[in-house]
Structure 1
Amino acid sequence: MGQLQTRSAPSHPPQVVLVGLDSSGKSTLMTRLLTGKLMDTSPTVGFNVGTLDLDNKVSMTLWDIGGQRNMRTNWRYYLEHCKALVFVVDSSDRERMPEAQKVLQKLLSEEKLKGVPLMVLANKKDLNNTLTIREVPDP
């Protein structure tokens, strides 16, 4: 992800954007990262934002953007200062994997993402009959 900014630096912490289809687990992931707890979440309408402190000097801002079809056109507005992109897929939802791949390919055509590191996170691996990492399609 490159260098992270320290709190003493005058600039804002690096921004990491979490996107993916609706119900892929983005909000649950973000809640777990920020609180350490597993909590029930509801569908995100708009976005959630929080600061993840990695240690006393290093932090990052996490953006969890709603994944419903009508929200996806708004994703580009959150990419301006994006330093890393995490695309979350529900590894238990085989039927929607082609849709996820198509959505990711379209997103990666955004000029603002040129040179931005991408992580495709296969979520919900605790469920039965999930895709293996080799079965999750490349973008």
Structure 2
Amino acid sequence: MGLLFSKFSSYLFPNIECRTLMLGLDGAGKTTILYKLKLNETVNTIPTIGFNVETVTFHKLTLTVWDVGGQERIRPLWKYYFPNTTTLVFVVDSSDIERFSDAKEELFSLLGEPELANAQLLVFANKQDMPNAKNPAELTEILDLGSIKNREWFICGTNAHTGQGLYEGLMWVKKQMKA
């Protein structure tokens, strides 16, 4: 009986699959976020030269997350990861005030890419625990997110080390994938 209910339940409430591309400037915390989501641990990371890919499962949402390095010399390679992306996660270091304009420029360049036209946008305003970190409302203004009219987007404050805000972002992704 339990097996029958389990199969019926998975038919009614199927697992949602999502190809997720996680981008942002170097040092924003992309890899730390990826492994916090995957392992629920804070891992020591080194700058990503190339990419990391992991499958993350959260409440019947399965994300294949591509975490691509954010160094300036690697950014031209981002385009090779665009095909079939359903969710673009853009990670911003909320405390790196000097690089906000670079982050905004890269984000809007990504939003102009035809292969990402149908991707929803999740912005992680990371490092909320740092001194001088801008909160999500301030970053919405700084990054001009309000001007984005051609796609669904959401911003949430995060701390990759504690996990604060990460699951809020995933819940938004799940809700959007069901819509």
Aligned to 2:51: 47
CA RMSD of aligned residues (A): 1.7
SS at match of 1:128: coil
1: CA distance between counterparts of 2:94 and 2:109? 20
1:90 aligned residue (83, 88, 93)? 93
Instruction: Give per-residue Cα distances to partners, 1:44-72, cap 9 Å, x unaligned.
Output: 000000001224x5422011000000111
- Residue aligned with 1:70, SS: coil
Specify the structure having the higher radius of gyration (Cα).
Answer: 2
Give TM-score scaled by structure 1 length: 0.87
**TM-score, normalising length from structure 2?**
0.68
Indicate the structure with greater helix content.
2
TM-superposed deviation, 1:6? 3.0
Report the counterpart of residue 38 of structure 2 in structure 1: 34
Tell me, which stretches of 5 or more residues in structure 2 are unaligned?
Answer: 1-12, 146-179
Runs of 4+ in 1 over 4 A off after TM superposition: none
Kept in 2: contact 1:5–1:59 (CA 8 A): no
Judged with a 3 Å threshold, the aligned counterparts in structure 2 of structure 1 residues 130 and 58 are, in CA distance, closer, same or farther, namely closer
SS in structure 1 opposite 2:131?
coil
Identity %: 40
CA contact (8 A) 1:122 1:133 kept: yes
- The alignment status of 1:23 with 2:27, answered yes or no, reads yes
Alignment gaps of 5+ in structure 1: 8-12
Work out whether residues 5 and 58 of structure 1, in 8 Å CA contact, stay in contact via their aligned partners in 2: no
